Amino acid sequence: MNILVTGGLGFIGSHTTIELIKNNHSVIIADNLINSKIEVLDKLSIITGIKPTFYQIDVTNEAKLEEIFVKHKIDGVIHFAGLKAVGESVSKPLEYYYSNLVSTMLLSKMCVKYGVNKFVFSSSATVYGEQEPPLKEDMELKKTTNPYGETKAMSERILTDTAKANDDFSVSLLRYFNPVGAHESGLIGEDPNGIPNNLMPFVTKVAKGQLEKLSVFGNDYDTIDGTGVRDYIHVVDLAKGHVKAIENLEKGVNIYNLGTGRGTSVLELVNAFMKVNDINVPYEIVGRRPGDIATCYADASKAEKELGWKAELGIEEMVRDAWKFEQNNK
């Protein structure tokens, strides 16, 4: 199939592009490079032997977006493009609502207009709000703690209503847990601009000596060692889940958790990183981060049953691959 991947030079988008090409799909990437690098395009060519068609556009630009639908016969869309820093969304809500909602609305409009009937959306476990894990797809969604999470919940509703109004238009809403790690080549990986918000890229930059030490946000949670527990999933497993989702898209609205079903604490992850990579990561226990919850992990059984997809890589591969990328990343 001919797949339009928005945000295809970003962390998850680039890894998904590799898996799509490995499965003999052709990929068109639209990316505005606000949180990605053009060098990733060449790395995708090195890894796959194929250079995807690339448009440097913002998918909130309707005219530029429509040009792609006019020029190419697109069979499906995987929509990653958007702003995704939880903390930043609190201080810049309008930017987040505009970017994340207008992009979803315009892409839906173009799909309906040009008869593109397969739409896979990059959603997030954040939409569940604070609920008792394991989180299941049929749970009622609770209000999230930030505008970023609200844009994911609202985008899900936009796509759900568009699918209900257009019989042929089918969507798959993929709710990610905590994507970490990198492609085995070490050529691409999580490469956020500036000081990382997320745990793993912060750990790798401390290991590399670029940051002095890791602040562990709280060790007084009701968890195995008091630190936050999350469902970390290898980005390559996550990418494979997208290929399964677009290849097995049932009619209507489909919702899947893409997680491992296992929880890992901050200290368990940091200790695994130090052990597997034989390197020290200095850290200090500090106060809780506002908005954090104690424990979050998936019930991942629905994706396994309906898509034939299950995460295969463990924490050891995640910390090994994340470190290999950081060491290569200049």
* Interface residue list for ligand WQD (CB under 6 A): 84, 86, 124, 126, 176, 178, 197-199, 202, 214-217, 228, 230, 266, 289, 292
Please say which residue, 202 or 309, places its beta carbon nearer to ligand WQD.
Answer: 202
Task: Provide the minimum distance between the beta carbon of 1 and ligand WQD in the complex, in angstroms, as a whole number.
Answer: 25
Please say which residue, 151 or 254, places its beta carbon nearer to ligand WQD.
Answer: 151
Catalytic residue among 55, 96, 148, 176: 148
How many CA atoms lie less than 13 Å away from 92 in the CB half-sphere?
12
CA torsion sign for 192, 197, 203, 209 is positive
Task: Provide the minimum distance between the beta carbon of 179 and ligand WQD in the complex, in angstroms, as a whole number.
Answer: 7
Task: Provide the minimum distance between the beta carbon of 98 and ligand WQD in the complex, in angstroms, as a whole number.
Answer: 18
The DSSP-derived string for 226-258 is: SS-EE-EEEHHHHHHHHHHHHHT--SSEEEEEE
Strand 229-230 vs strand 264-265: parallel, antiparallel, or unpaired? antiparallel
Please say which residue, 25 or 175, places its beta carbon nearer to ligand WQD.
Answer: 175
Please say which residue, 291 or 308, places its beta carbon nearer to ligand WQD.
Answer: 291
148 catalytic residue (yes or no): yes
Kindly state the tokens that stand for 270.
């940091």
Q: 224-244 burial, b for 16+ CB within 10 Å, e for fewer?
A: eebbbbbbbbbbbbbbbbbbb
Task: Provide the minimum distance between the beta carbon of 59 and ligand WQD in the complex, in angstroms, as a whole number.
Answer: 18
Say whether 297 sits in a helix, a strand or coil. coil
Give the residue closest to ligand WQD by C-beta: 228
Active-site residue numbers? 148
